[in-house]
Amino acid sequence: MMEEKEIWKGSPSQWINFGTYIICFLFCWLVIPIFIALWKFLVVKTWKIEITDQRLITEKGVLSKTTDELELYRVKDLRLDQPLLLRLVGLSNIVLLTSDRTNPTVIIPSITDGKNVREKLRVAVEARRDMKGVRETDFE
């Protein structure tokens, strides 16, 4: 059995909470929005994403943890999204369309150097598919 090699490891940027932070700041006199902003901060802070040459591993959770794994040979398509706010700060989202039944669409949100990560991921997906002998067939 081959040992997995790490391709990328990181977590989303806090910029995905920008709108929430603004609203919470405007209504901070109500006190509850402060706790909402703190919770949103912790959710993103504890969100870990690792891409290896075999899998995409996502770990989420503040109080309870959930780890989700996606085998790379299940990725059908990759897309790079750069919404205006994220583009202004040099961030992007990678969207994966998969054949996985539990997660047909996986989003790696708000990361730096998205083009480079997407390209590394694309190469790893193709290599893994070749190694497993997986071919994509669409029926319409």
pLDDT per residue over 60-106, tens digit each?
A: 999 999 999 999 999 999 999 999 999 999 999 999 999 988 889 99
Q: Is 139 part of any domain?
A: no
Give pTM, 2 decimals: 0.88
pLDDT tier at 135, thresholds 50, 70, 90? confident
In the predicted model, is pLDDT for residue 29 greater than 70? yes
Q: How many domains would you assign to the chain?
A: 1
The CATH number of whichever domain residue 43 belongs to comes to: 2.30.29
pLDDT tier at 31, thresholds 50, 70, 90? confident
* Type of residue found at 4: E
Q: Which residue has the tokens 């993103």?
A: 44
As given in the structure block, the two tokens for residue 70 are 């996606």
Q: Is 16 part of any domain?
A: yes
What integer pLDDT is reported at residue 139 of this predicted model?
67
What integer pLDDT is reported at residue 132 of this predicted model?
84
Q: Is 80 part of any domain?
A: yes
Higher pLDDT, 109 or 3: 109
Q: Is 45 part of any domain?
A: yes
Rounded Cα distance, 113 and 50, in Å: 15
The b/e string for 94-116 (b: 16+ C-beta within 10 A; e otherwise) is bbbebebeeeeebebbbbeebee
| Among 6, 7, 11, CA closest to 117 | 7
| Among 55, 47, 79, CA closest to 6 | 55
What integer pLDDT is reported at residue 87 of this predicted model?
94
pLDDT tens column, 38-59: 999 999 999 999 999 999 999 9
Residues of the domain holding 13: 6-132
What integer pLDDT is reported at residue 68 of this predicted model?
95
What integer pLDDT is reported at residue 3 of this predicted model?
87
Task: Provide DSSP, 32-95.
Answer: HHHHHHHHHHHHHHT-EEEEESSEEEEEE-SSS-EEEEEEGGGEEEEEEE--HHHHHTTEEEEE
Q: Is 76 part of any domain?
A: yes
Q: Is 137 part of any domain?
A: no
Rounded Cα distance, 75 and 104, in Å: 9
Under a CB-based contact definition with an 8 Å cutoff, are residues 91 and 111 in contact? yes
Q: Is 105 part of any domain?
A: yes
pLDDT tier at 133, thresholds 50, 70, 90? confident
Q: Is 35 part of any domain?
A: yes
